[in-house]
Structure 1
Amino acid sequence: MMGMGELGTNIGSVLASLMFVWAIFKDHFPYRLRGHIEKYIQKLFRFVYPYIEITFHELAGERLKRSEAFSAIQNYLSTKATSQASRFKADVMKESKSLVLTMDDHEEVPDEFNGVKVWWVLNKHVNKSQSMSYFPVSDEKRSFKLSFHKQHRELITGPYIEHVMNEGKAVVVKNRQRKLYSNNPSKNWHGWKSTKWSHVFFEHPATFDTLAMESKKKEAIMKDLKKFTQGKEYYKKIGKAWKRGYLLYGPPGTGKSTMIAAMANFLNYDVYDLELTTVKDNTELRNLLIDTSSKSILVIEDIDCSLDLTGQREKKKEKDEDNKEEIDPIKKKEKEESDNKSSKVTLSGLLNFIDGLWSACGGERIIVFTTNHVDKLDPALIRRGRMDKHIEMSYCGFEAFKVLANNYLDIDSHDLYGKIESMLGETNITPADVAENLMPKSDEEDVETCLNCLIEALEEVKKEEARKKAEEEEARLKAEKEEKEKAESAQESVKVDENSANSVVKENGFHKEGDAVGVDT
Structure 2
Amino acid sequence: MAMEMWSNLGTLTATIFFLATMARKYLPRELYENFREPLRRIARFLSPYIILVIEENEGIRISDLYESVQIYLSTLSSSAAARLKLSKPQKATAFTFTMDKGQQIMDEFQGFNAWWTLRSRECKPPLFSRYNASDEKRHFELKFHKKNKARVFETYLPHVIAEAKILELKNRQRKIYTNKGGKSHSYEDRNRVWTPMVFEHPATFETLALDPEVKDDIMEDCRKFSQRESYYKKVGRAWKRGYLLYGPPGTGKSSMIAAISNFLEYDIYDLELTEVKSNTELRKLLIGTTNKSIIVIEDIDCSLDLSDRKKKAKKKSKEEQNPKKEENDNDDSRVTLSGVLNFTDGLWSCCGSEKIIIFTTNHVDRLDPALLRSGRMDKHIHLSFCTFSAFKVLARNYLGVENHPLFEKVEVLMKKAEITPADVTEELMRVSDDPTAALEKLIETLQRALETAAVKNEVSPENESVEDTLVAEGSPPVAVIGEGSSLN
TM-score category of the 2 structures, normalised to the smaller one: 0.5 to 0.7
User: Aligned partners of 2:363 and 2:234: how far apart in 1?
Assistant: 36
**Shift, 1:417, TM fit:** 1.8
**Shift, 1:77, TM fit:** 13
**Shift, 1:360, TM fit:** 1.2
**Shift, 1:26, TM fit:** 3.2
Matched, 1:457 2:445: yes
Q: 1:257 to 1:472 in 2, by over 3 A?
A: farther
- Matching residue's letter, 2:337: L
**Shift, 1:425, TM fit:** 2.1
Q: 1:314 to 1:369 in 2, by over 3 A?
A: same
Counterpart position of 1:319: 318
* 8 Å CA contact retained: 1:310, 1:377: yes
The count of residues paired between Structure 1 and Structure 2 equals 373
Matched, 1:418 2:413: no
Matched, 1:304 2:304: no
**Shift, 1:196, TM fit:** 3.0
Q: Secondary structure at the match of 1:188?
A: coil
Matched, 1:234 2:231: yes
**Shift, 1:403, TM fit:** 1.0
Q: 1:243 to 1:60 in 2, by over 3 A?
A: farther
Q: Secondary structure at the match of 1:370?
A: strand
* Percent identical residues: 51
Q: 1:350 to 1:286 in 2, by over 3 A?
A: same
* 8 Å CA contact retained: 1:250, 1:373: yes
User: Aligned partners of 1:346 and 1:394: how far apart in 2?
Assistant: 30
User: Aligned partners of 1:467 and 1:126: how far apart in 2?
Assistant: 75
Q: 1:182 to 1:449 in 2, by over 3 A?
A: same
User: Aligned partners of 2:287 and 2:257: how far apart in 1?
Assistant: 21
1:110-259 mapped onto 2 (5 Å cutoff): 169=165, 171-173=167-169, 175-185=171-181, 188=183, 192=187, 193-194=189-190, 195-259=192-256
* 8 Å CA contact retained: 2:238, 2:353: yes
* 8 Å CA contact retained: 1:182, 1:275: yes
1:75-94 mapped onto 2 (5 Å cutoff): none
Q: Secondary structure at the match of 1:223?
A: helix
Question: In the TM superposition, what whole-angstrom CA distance separates every residue of 1:356-406 from its partner, at most 9, and x where no partner exists?
Answer: 011111222111111111122111111111101111111111221111111
Question: In the TM superposition, what whole-angstrom CA distance separates every residue of 1:131-178 from its partner, at most 9, and x where no partner exists?
Answer: xxxxxxx999799xxxxxxxxxxxxx89xx989967853652452233
Question: In the TM superposition, what whole-angstrom CA distance separates every residue of 1:45-81 from its partner, at most 9, and x where no partner exists?
Answer: xxxxxxxxxxxx99844659999679769989999xx
Q: What TM-score comes out, normalization by structure 2 length?
A: 0.63
CA RMSD of aligned residues (A): 4.5
Matched, 1:349 2:339: yes
Q: Secondary structure at the match of 1:260?
A: helix
User: Aligned partners of 1:139 and 1:200: how far apart in 2?
Assistant: 26
User: Aligned partners of 1:374 and 1:126: how far apart in 2?
Assistant: 54
Question: In the TM superposition, what whole-angstrom CA distance separates every residue of 1:61-120 from its partner, at most 9, and x where no partner exists?
Answer: 4659999679769989999xxxxxxx999x998758544899xx9999xxxxxxxxxx97
Counterpart position of 1:478: none
**Shift, 1:29, TM fit:** 10
1:470 equivalent among 458, 466, 470: 458
- Matching residue's letter, 2:439: L
Q: 1:342 to 1:405 in 2, by over 3 A?
A: same
User: Aligned partners of 1:320 and 1:139: how far apart in 2?
Assistant: 61
Q: 1:28 to 1:368 in 2, by over 3 A?
A: closer
Q: Secondary structure at the match of 1:433?
A: helix
- Matching residue's letter, 2:267: D
Q: Secondary structure at the match of 1:470?
A: coil
* 8 Å CA contact retained: 1:181, 1:273: yes
User: Aligned partners of 2:330 and 2:402: how far apart in 1?
Assistant: 57
**Shift, 1:354, TM fit:** 0.7
Unaligned runs of 5+ in 1: 1-23, 33-56, 80-86, 109-118, 128-137, 144-156, 474-521
**Shift, 1:241, TM fit:** 1.4
- Matching residue's letter, 2:437: T
The higher radius of gyration belongs to 1
Unaligned runs of 5+ in 2: 10-48, 98-104, 118-138, 145-153, 462-488
User: Aligned partners of 1:276 and 1:300: how far apart in 2?
Assistant: 7
Q: 1:427 to 1:363 in 2, by over 3 A?
A: same
2:272 equivalent among 266, 272, 275: 275
- Matching residue's letter, 1:318: S
Matched, 1:370 2:360: yes
User: Aligned partners of 1:413 and 1:121: how far apart in 2?
Assistant: 67
User: Aligned partners of 2:409 and 2:50: how far apart in 1?
Assistant: 66
User: Aligned partners of 1:379 and 1:189: how far apart in 2?
Assistant: 37
Q: 1:417 to 1:337 in 2, by over 3 A?
A: closer
User: Aligned partners of 1:122 and 1:209: how far apart in 2?
Assistant: 52
Q: Secondary structure at the match of 1:452?
A: helix
* 8 Å CA contact retained: 2:270, 2:297: yes
Counterpart position of 2:136: none
1:288 equivalent among 273, 285, 288: 285
Counterpart position of 2:466: none
Q: Secondary structure at the match of 1:464?
A: helix
User: Aligned partners of 1:163 and 1:234: how far apart in 2?
Assistant: 30
Q: 1:28 to 1:392 in 2, by over 3 A?
A: closer
Q: What TM-score comes out, normalization by structure 1 length?
A: 0.59
User: Aligned partners of 1:190 and 1:177: how far apart in 2?
Assistant: 28
User: Aligned partners of 1:58 and 1:408: how far apart in 2?
Assistant: 63
1:437 equivalent among 427, 435, 457: 427
- Matching residue's letter, 2:435: V
* 8 Å CA contact retained: 1:95, 1:176: no
**Shift, 1:232, TM fit:** 2.3
Question: In the TM superposition, what whole-angstrom CA distance separates every residue of 1:286-345 from its partner, at most 9, and x where no partner exists?
Answer: 222222222221111111222221112233223312xx34x7xxxx8xx59969934332
User: Aligned partners of 1:414 and 1:430: how far apart in 2?
Assistant: 21
User: Aligned partners of 2:394 and 2:373: how far apart in 1?
Assistant: 33
User: Aligned partners of 1:142 and 1:224: how far apart in 2?
Assistant: 48
